[in-house]
Structure 1
Amino acid sequence: MERLINYLLHFGHLNQQQIELIKSRICIKTIKKDEYYHEAGKIPREIIFLTEGIVRVCYYSNNGDEITKYFIDENNFVADINNYNQGLPSTEYIQAITDCEYIVLSKTTMEELSMTIIGWDAIISKITAKAMAEKVNRISPMMTEDATERYLGFLNKFPTLVNRIPLSYVASYLGVTQSSLSRIRKTIR
């Protein structure tokens, strides 16, 4: 729970009473490697804060190909924020790549904290803006780079993830086949 509190404190002030309220409203859960935390077609009803492990956000193309959009590791929030806010079914899956532990903030809890803690909405807004900026900064360069540049960029931005994620997922994220990724890896060693 301390990881979540420390993360929140980077975005705004919380007094001890507010921290205790947050702690009293959250719960810790786990999910095993390869299990889905969330599936397409379901309405997201909670936001989670990942304390251990890595998840990937993926979807299926019109051809039935599984496409990895991005990875999320420890000390980050995981949410399909648009569908969560609008109460609409998600079009994406969230799958555990490793065994994961996470803190759950239900929609009811989020609403209660919003009504009780002055500044809560500002904290959440800053966190959301940061996540959106990171998402754009992650995706935009990939649009103009070749496969080798995308892989080198991935290694640069996520040096600790490459050994924890199956190559098939990395290849999907980069938009290349696994055999192409293997060739790229051989040429840059």
Structure 2
Amino acid sequence: MEEIISYMLQFGQLDAQQTKLIKTRLHEITLKKGAYFSEAGKIARQVGFLSEGVLRVCYYGIKGEEFTRCFVRENQFAVDLNSFYNEIPCSEYVEALTDCRMFVLSKPAFTELSGIIADWNPLFAKMSSSALMRKVYESSRMLSEDATTRYLSFLEIYPGLSNRIPLSALASYLGITQSSLSRIRKNIS
């Protein structure tokens, strides 16, 4: 649980009493590989902080094809902010690619903390902004690169992740077929 507090302290100040209060509102959950933390069409009712495992944010096309938008690694938050704040259905799925352990804050607990901790909303806004900027940076890099360079960029952005996730998810993220990914990996080795 200390990792979530350490992460939050990168974005603002929390005193010992506030830290203790946050810890009492968090609860730990586990997700098995293939389980969803949140689902398209349902309202996000919790914010999760991933302490172990890998998640992916994805959606499915009309013909059932899957599209991976990004990955969530350890020590990062997972939430569909638009759904969580505005209580509208999620547009994407957050799926466990490995067995995961998370610390979760429910919507009522989040709202309670925002009423008690004066800097809660600015702190969370800074964390959200940082995550958004990181995703925009990653996406813009991917749009201007060929498949091999996208794979090399992935390795740089997500070190050690390629051996932890299914090839299908990685290929989907890169926008290529699994056979193309296998060829690229073979040529780089």
Decide: shared fold, TM above 0.5: yes
Unaligned runs of 5+ in 2: none
TM-score of the two chains, using structure 1 as the length reference: 0.97
Identity of aligned residues (%): 51
SS in structure 2 of the partner of residue 14 of structure 1: coil
The answer for the alignment partner of 1:143 in structure 2 is 143
Whether 1:117 aligns to 2:113 is: no
Per-residue CA deviations over 1:13-59 (Å, capped at 9, x if unaligned) read 11111111111111001011111222111000111000110001110
Amino acid at match of 1:64: G
Q: Aligned equivalents of 1:62 and 1:188: distance in 2?
A: 34
TM-score of the two chains, using structure 2 as the length reference: 0.97
Task: Give the C-alpha shift of residue 89 in structure 1.
Answer: 0.6
Q: Aligned equivalents of 1:67 and 1:147: distance in 2?
A: 16
The answer for the alignment partner of 1:105 in structure 2 is 105
Amino acid at match of 1:124: F
Could you say what the CA RMSD is over the residues aligned between the two structures, in angstroms?
0.8
Aligned length: 189
Unaligned runs of 5+ in 1: none
Q: Aligned equivalents of 1:144 and 1:8: distance in 2?
A: 33
Q: Aligned equivalents of 1:174 and 1:65: distance in 2?
A: 14
SS in structure 2 of the partner of residue 168 of structure 1: helix
Q: Aligned equivalents of 1:119 and 1:145: distance in 2?
A: 40
Amino acid at match of 2:116: T
Amino acid at match of 1:34: G
